[in-house]
Amino acid sequence: MSAGLDPSQIRFITRGVTAEEVAAVTAVLTAAAAEQAAAARDARPATGPDAWGRSQRSLRTPLSPGPGAWRSFSA
């Protein structure tokens, strides 16, 4: 049973609920709570930018031709 779900706290508003119906609803809610807890536990936090964020980076600065523009490439 999940630690977050206490079956004694489930209240049925509908009258005439059978024991089998109570057991079925309790089983489904317990399984759903356990699945949700497992998914939250297994979820990994995102590290770094996603593909959308990477595609939004700015482009390089424009090249400026002219005298001395390529100075860093000369020996």
Residue 15 maps to a domain = yes
Specify the DSSP class assigned to residue 56. Answer: T
Residue 39 maps to a domain = yes
Range of the domain at 29: 1-43
Residue 27 maps to a domain = yes
Is the per-residue pLDDT at 32 higher than 60? yes
Measured between alpha carbons, how far is 24 from 7 in angstroms, rounded to an integer? 12
Please write the tens of the pLDDT for every residue from 12-24: 999 999 999 999 9
38 against 58, higher pLDDT: 38
Please write the tens of the pLDDT for every residue from 45-58: 767 777 777 777 77
pLDDT at position 23: 92
pLDDT at position 3: 56
Q: How many domains does the chain have?
A: 1
CB 38 within 8 A of CB 31: no
Residue 49 maps to a domain = no
What is the pTM assigned to this prediction?
Answer: 0.49
Residue 16 maps to a domain = yes
